[in-house]
Chain A
Amino acid sequence: DTGVSQDPRHKITKRGQNVTFRCDPISEHNRLYWYRQTLGQGPEFLTYFQNEAQLEKSRLLSDRFSAERPKGSFSTLEIQRTEQGDSAMYLCASSSGLAGGRNEQFFGPGTRLTVL
Chain B
Amino acid sequence: EDKVVQSPLSLVVHEGDTVTLNCSYEVTNFRSLLWYKQEKKAPTFLFMLTSSGIEKKSGRLSSILDKKELFSILNITATQTGDSAVYLCGYSGAGSYQLTFGKGTKLSVIP
Which residues of A does B touch, CB under 8 Å? 4, 31, 33, 35, 40-45, 48, 50, 55-56, 58, 91, 95, 101-110
**Chain B residue at minimal CB-CB distance from A91:** B42
| Other A-B pairs, 18, CB within 8 Å; known A45-B100, A104-B34, A109-B41 | A33-B98, A33-B99, A41-B103, A42-B4, A42-B88, A42-B90, A43-B101, A55-B97, A91-B43, A95-B97, A101-B31, A101-B94, A103-B34, A104-B45, A105-B99, A107-B42, A107-B43, A109-B42
For B96, list chain A residues within 8 Å (CB).
56
* Tally of contact residues, B, Cβ under 8 A: 25
- Min Cβ gap B91→A in Å is 10
B99-111 toward A: CB 8 Å interface, digit per residue (1/0)? 1111110000000
A42 contacts B104, C-beta separation under 8 Å: yes
Which residues of B does A touch, CB under 8 Å? 4, 31-32, 34, 36, 41-45, 48, 50, 88, 90, 92, 94, 96-104
| Total CB contacts across the A-B interface at under 8 A | 66
Beyond A102-B48, A106-B45, whether A40 also contacts B103 by CB under 8 A is yes
9 closest Cβ pairs, A-B complex: A42-B101, A107-B42, A45-B98, A107-B43, A103-B92, A109-B42, A42-B88, A43-B101, A110-B42
For B32, list chain A residues within 8 Å (CB).
101-103
For A55, list chain B residues within 8 Å (CB).
97
B48 contacts A103, C-beta separation under 8 Å: yes
Give the distance in Å from the alpha carbon of A44 to the alpha carbon of B88 in the complex. Answer: 12
For B48, list chain A residues within 8 Å (CB).
102-104
- Min Cβ gap A76→B in Å is 18
- Min Cβ gap B28→A in Å is 16
For B101, list chain A residues within 8 Å (CB).
42-44
